[in-house]
Amino acid sequence: MNPIIQVNRIEKKFKNETAIKEVSFDVMKGEIFGLLGPSGAGKTTMIKIMTGELSATSGDCEVLSLQSREFNSARFKSQIGILSDNSALYERLTIYDNLKLFCKLYGESVKAIEEVLQLVNLLGEEKKPVSKLSKGMKQRVLLAKALIHKPALLFLDEPTSALDPGNRMHIHQGLKKLNEDGTTIFLNTHDMEEANELCHRVAFLNEGKLREIGNPKELRYKYSSHAFHIETMANKKLVLDNGPESATLIAELIKNNEVKEMHTDNPTLGDIFLKVTGKELVK
């Protein structure tokens, strides 16, 4: 795979505060890449640098084979979709008229509206004025807006933070389908379950620094103690090392039908974040 995003030693300073501290990573074409961290970690600043909303203080950033000086060009804007804290809608217009306006802006057929409404679970709601929508529904319309022109690269900043579990699952399914069809997705989230569900690779960002990066499954294995956790039929809980002596004991427990539940140590992404940063992964 070829890199669609290349970030090399990016630093961003605001007056006396350094928000991003020499961050480097690549995002490969066709993957869903998650940047994990609590609020204030620097995730939104990083997206704003990669989409041309902010300029880096130092370092280099290349997106879609374009340099940062080209991020405000029509060529760049036509290839990306963005859902961020700056995304907005026309409150007086209906959902349909908002999306129709963006179809015109991107030169898309209005036939695209039905497809994106289906993806964000709003089909049948298109006549509703945006001003009458809940926060969660507005979030889904903003996502539809970001998808209307079928971007090659989609930037999502906490896309499901205002959604209920049912709509979150629907959006996740839609994003997976979008990715399967060729869209690369850069996802900012503090939700470790969402990252584990969607991402091919994740990076941990804390206080502006990149702390760890890798495939979620491989990271869980890397930071696992590989111990066995066993609950017996007598409700006794055992934690056994992964070794020959434990194997003998486990075999004996199974033989005597004494095992009620057994699993290996498998840390969550939140557990790993806590281990590498010393902080809980919370919003």
At 92, is the pLDDT very low, low, confident or very high (cuts 50, 70, 90)?
A: very high
Give backbone dihedrals phi and psi of 135, rounded to 5 degrees, phi first. -60, -40
- Six-digit token pair at 97? 């008229």
Pick from 211, 210, 197: nearest CA to 45: 210
Residue 265 pLDDT: 81
Is the predicted pLDDT of residue 282 greater than 60, yes or no?
no
Q: What is the mean pLDDT of the chain?
A: 91
- Which among 147, 131, 195, 201 is positioned nearest to 168, based on CA atoms? 195
The pLDDT score that the predictor gives to residue 248 is 85
What whole-number distance in Å separates Cα of residue 124 and Cα of residue 114? 9
Provide mean pLDDT across the span 23-48.
94
Res. 281: pLDDT tops 80: no
Mean pLDDT, residues 112-137 taken together: 93
Distance between CA atoms of 269 and 275, rounded to whole angstroms?
10
| Residues 174-194, mean pLDDT to the nearest whole number | 93
pLDDT tens digit string along 218-240?
Answer: 999 999 888 888 899 989 898 88
Residue 21: closest CA among 209, 206, 211, 213: 209
Question: Which one-letter amino acid corresponds to residue 247?
Answer: A
For domain 1-79+151-224+268-283, the CATH architecture is 3-Layer(aba) Sandwich (3.40)
Highest mean predicted confidence (pLDDT) among 31-35, 36-40, 162-166: 31-35
Q: State the Cα–Cα distance between residues 141 and 125, nearest whole angstrom.
A: 10
Structure tokens at 243: 């070794």
Token pair recorded at residue 191: 């939700």
